[in-house]
């Protein structure tokens, strides 16, 4: 839940009870978790602000790279934004989003090698793999 320490077991028990049933908010820069989103905002400002030199002028959200800020600004343009359910990644590019989810999280590749079941994003990648690793069975 969190890294807070206690001197007495009764204090820990009371603290754990306070967390029950609450949605925990995860810092996108470190392992810090907290139920109160305001405390998370303060944490990010105090701990990570120096790491985030590129700031959105509309919402003050900070980013490590200019490209991340540009991507964020598209959320204000009316374009559909695809937000990853597994991490903080978001994009307006549907194919890039699908590629991200498959290659980083689900590993549910649509093209599988018939010989070893390794997955690939594209049929051409699968065919190259077969020629490279299964030459003897890949030739007609």
Residue ranges of domains in the chain: 1-51
**pLDDT score, position 17:** 65
Which residues does residue 88 pair with via DSSP β-bridges, in sequence order? none
Q: What confidence score (pLDDT) does residue 21 get?
A: 66
Residues in a beta bridge with 25: 34
Q: Which of 42, 64, 43, 44 lies closest to 53 in space, CA to CA? A: 64
Which tops the pLDDT comparison, 31 or 10?
A: 31
Please name which of 42, 38, 67 lies closest in space to residue 53, comparing C-alpha atoms. Answer: 67
Is the model's pTM score more than 0.85? no
- What separation in angstroms does the CA of 80 have from each of 49, 83, 85, 97, 103? 28, 10, 15, 12, 22
CA pair distance 49, 88, nearest whole angstrom: 17
Mean residue pLDDT across the chain: 80
């Amino acid at each position: 839940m969190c890294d807070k320490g206690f001197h007495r077991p009764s204090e820990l028990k009371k603290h754990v009870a306070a967390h029950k049933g609450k949605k925990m908010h995860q810092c996108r820069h470190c392992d810090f978790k907290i139920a109160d989103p305001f405390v998370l905002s303060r944490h990010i400002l105090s701990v990570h602000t120096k790491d985030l030199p590129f700031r959105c002028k509309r919402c003050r959200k900070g980013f490590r790279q200019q490209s991340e800020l540009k991507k964020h600004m598209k959320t204000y343009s009316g374009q559909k934004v695809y937000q990853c359910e597994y991490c903080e990644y978001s994009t307006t590019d549907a194919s890039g989003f699908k590629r991200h989810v498959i290659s980083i999280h689900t590993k549910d590749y649509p093209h599988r090698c018939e010989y070893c079941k390794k997955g690939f994003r594209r049929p051409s990648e699968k065919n190259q793999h077969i020629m490279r690793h299964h030459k003897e069975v890949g030739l007609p």
